[in-house]
Amino acid sequence: MQIYNLIRRLIWSANIDNKKAAKDLVEFFKVMEGELGRKPYFGGDRFGFVDVALVPFYGYFHTYETFGSFSFARECPMLVQWGERCLQRESVSKNLPDPYQGLRVCSGAQEEAGDW
C-alpha cells in the first residue's frame, strides 16, 4: 500500500530526502482530505469502513509532523477535524495509541537502526 511506503520514507530517509518524503506524505493526505470533503465521515453521515481503515493513521499524525516538520492542522485541517470527530467515538478513543507513544517508538527504532 502506498501509505506505508510514504511513512517508511519519511521516518527512515536521510535528511536530504526527508523534505521530499514529507511533501509526498502531505500530498497523499490532501487527496484523502479531498475525498472526505465537508462530510463528517468518508461514507457521509455514518462512521464506516473507510473511516475504520484510515483512523489508525490519525493516531500517528504527531509522529509524521515531528519527522516531517509540517503541521496537519495547517495542511489538512478538515482531516484533523475528522480525526477529532472519530476520537469522540469510544471504539476509536480506546484503541488509538497515545500520539507521543508512537513518536517514542519510531524515534527509538530509528536510533537503534542507525543511519542506513
Question: Does residue 34 lie in a domain region?
Answer: yes
Q: What is the pLDDT at residue 108?
A: 62
pTM: 0.85
Q: Is residue 113 part of a domain?
A: no
Q: Which domain holds residue 77?
A: 2-106
What is the rounded CA–CA span in Å between residue 20 and residue 67? 12
The verdict on residue 86 lying in a domain is: yes
pLDDT of residue 54: 95
* Residue 6, all three cell numbers: 510514504
User: Per the domain annotation, does 102 fall within a domain?
Assistant: yes
CA-based max dimension of the chain: 45
- Domain presence at residue 65: yes
pLDDT score of 14: 59
10-residue averages of pLDDT along the chain (116 residues): 85 75 95 97 97 94 92 98 97 88 68 50
